[in-house]
Amino acid sequence: MLFNSYSFIFAFLPVVLLGYFAASRLGKLAPVIWLALASLVFYSFSNWQFVALLLASIGFNYLIGWLLISHHLRAGPRLAVLSAGVAGDLFALGIFKYAGFLVANFNAVFSTSLAVNILLPVGISFYTFTQIAFLVDAYRGKVARYALPHYALFVTYFPHLIAGPILHHRDMIPQFESSDSKRPSPHLILCGLIIFGVGLFKKTGLADGIQSLVALAFNQAAPSFDQAWIGALAYTFQLYFDFSGYSDMAIGISLMFGIFLPLNFNSPYKAASIIDFWRRWHMSLSQFLRDYLYIPLGGNRHGALLRYVNLMITMLLGGLWHGAAWTFVAWGALHGVYLCINHAWINYGPPIPRLLARPARIVAFLLTFLAVVIAWVFFRADSLTSALFVLSKMADPGQIVFGHTEMIQGALIAIYAAIAWLAPNTQAIMGYDHKNRRVGENFGAWRLRPWLVYGGALAFAFGILGIQQHSEFIYFRF
């Protein structure tokens, strides 16, 4: 089921919301069970054949977690249990996500014709990572014992299940256990509606609105220089508005239930360095990769050289997490190289004179954006050949069309760029503070309150009017 569908907005969400608050009269556990069941129903609408896999994954990880938390095991067996748990998770992920990729590469190398046709269960990358983090923390002794319904809800919670944000058990389960979240809060519901409306508009109005321009670069036999750039930039903004729209909608929905989800975006295209970009783009994934891959690998604790190696490994695996294809590996590798250069510049580059600080920042901002756009070409292309072809067109100003059509398309891109670069983001507008569980604190006193309410209503209405059939979120396929 899609957030941007009439059935979700007008049927599923209101029913689940009413049921949740009604169930709270039956005790603290009833709303948790209700929400977990509703999440399974949500998942089964389009992925019914993988519900069993999801349940098996929850059961397996809960059992492993229980063994790790119980403290009855000595150090050696504990490590073995953790290894078995993580290996089990990665094995399932490998089978469903990477088996086809491995077989295709095997065929290419050994000229065989083995065939593997396995459907990718939606959300598997997200719920696998979420649970690996849980197991690792359980091993580190950072996890209290959780009841099974709370744990099941933590994994299946429908606002995040399909495309994140990647949740952390220490952030979420206490919220599910709290009594506060089970009482309807008109303030949180209002804020949730506004944030959901903004997210819906980002998805159906902005991301879907620019989708057709992407084909100029990626679905044409021979795009010109300007068409290749328009297509690449269109994808850059489509992906941002699509994924950040989804994340806003997830945060908004969750707020209506009184649950604060972590932020996933913080105006990433305003970044003035690649390090800064990764602090703003898909933040929950960046944090996961940092805490559960980069730091365990050694992070920056073993000298400069190993730091760069660790960065490269982290980004390569981060790329592969997005999809089983060499294009994603190339994308990850490119960002790994960018990060290494960025760190090297910080450590070894010349200091910028104060007088040049502002122009240098503008150059850094442009360079960062350019680097990100180039990397997105690999992310979007069907193959490395196709990516290199598009990039070759972007580097060849010999053929320029720039007719009436391209001018209008260029103007459209400029509007999107202006929104991404100049407009405040949703959390800034709404005063969303995930850490302190606050949102819209100044709402009551604010003279702009009617603007927010009616502006949000307008965004919500335009979002509804923009709903198209079958417009999936791009990150569903990861």
Partner 1 sequence: MDKSIKDIFHFLCASLLVVVTAAALNFVVDPLQIFRPARLFTAMYSQDSRLQDAGLIRSQDFDTVFMGTSLAIQFRQSDIDRILGVKSLKLAMIGSSSREQAFVLAAALTRQPRRVIWEVDDWIFHDTPEIDANTHLPADLYRGNARGIAGYLLSGTVAREAAWIMARSIRPLEPAVARLTSEVLFKFSVFRVDDINTLQANEDVGATYNSKRAIAAFKYITDPVRAKYLKDDTDYDMKVRVFERDAITLIAANPDVTFDIYLPPYSILQWVALRDTSSETLKSVYAFSAYFCRRLMDFPNVRLFDFRSVRDVTHDLNNYSDVIHHSPAVDLKILSWLAEGKYRVDRAQPTVYLDRLTSQVESYRIEDKKR
Rule CB under 8 A: say whether 255 interacts with partner 1.
Answer: no
C-beta of 41 vs 412, nearer to partner 1: 412
H helices of 9-50, in order, are 13-23, 29-47
Dump the DSSP string for 159-194.
Answer: HHHTT-PPP-HHHHHHHHH-SGGGS--HHHHHHHHH
Residue range at the interface with partner 1 (CB under 8 A); choices 47-55, 290-298, 376-384, 468-476: 468-476
CB of 385 to partner 1, least distance (A): 9
Which of the residues 150, 322, 335, 343 is marked catalytic?
322
C-alpha distances (whole Å) from 293 to each of 78, 98, 132, 139 are 20, 19, 11, 15
Of residues 295-314, which lie at the interface with partner 1 (CB under 8 A)? none
CA gap 12, 138 in Å, rounded: 34
Q: Which residues pair with 438 in a beta bridge?
A: 433
Rule CB under 8 A: say whether 458 interacts with partner 1.
Answer: yes
Rule CB under 8 A: say whether 457 interacts with partner 1.
Answer: yes
Rule CB under 8 A: say whether 447 interacts with partner 1.
Answer: no
Rule CB under 8 A: say whether 446 interacts with partner 1.
Answer: no
Rule CB under 8 A: say whether 252 interacts with partner 1.
Answer: no
| Residue 402, helix vs strand vs coil | coil
The single residue among 28, 145, 183, 187 that binds partner 1, judged by CB under 8 A, is 187
Assign residue 298 a region: left if phi > 0, alpha if psi is -120 to 50, beta otherwise? left
Contact 253, 192 (CB under 8 A): yes
- To the query of whether residue 168 is one of the catalytic residues in this protein, the response is no
Rule CB under 8 A: say whether 215 interacts with partner 1.
Answer: no
Alpha carbons within 13 A on the beta-carbon side of 441: 9
CA gap 248, 427 in Å, rounded: 9
Rule CB under 8 A: say whether 111 interacts with partner 1.
Answer: no
CB of 465 to partner 1, least distance (A): 3
Residue range at the interface with partner 1 (CB under 8 A); choices 69-77, 286-294, 324-332, 459-467: 459-467
CB atoms within 10 A of CB 48: 11
CA gap 158, 469 in Å, rounded: 21
The single residue among 13, 16, 122, 467 that binds partner 1, judged by CB under 8 A, is 467
Rule CB under 8 A: say whether 193 interacts with partner 1.
Answer: yes
The single residue among 31, 121, 205, 258 that binds partner 1, judged by CB under 8 A, is 205
Q: Give contact residues for partner 1 (rule: CB under 8 A).
A: 6, 185-187, 189-190, 193-194, 197, 204-205, 221, 404-405, 408-409, 444, 449, 453-454, 456-458, 460-462, 464-471
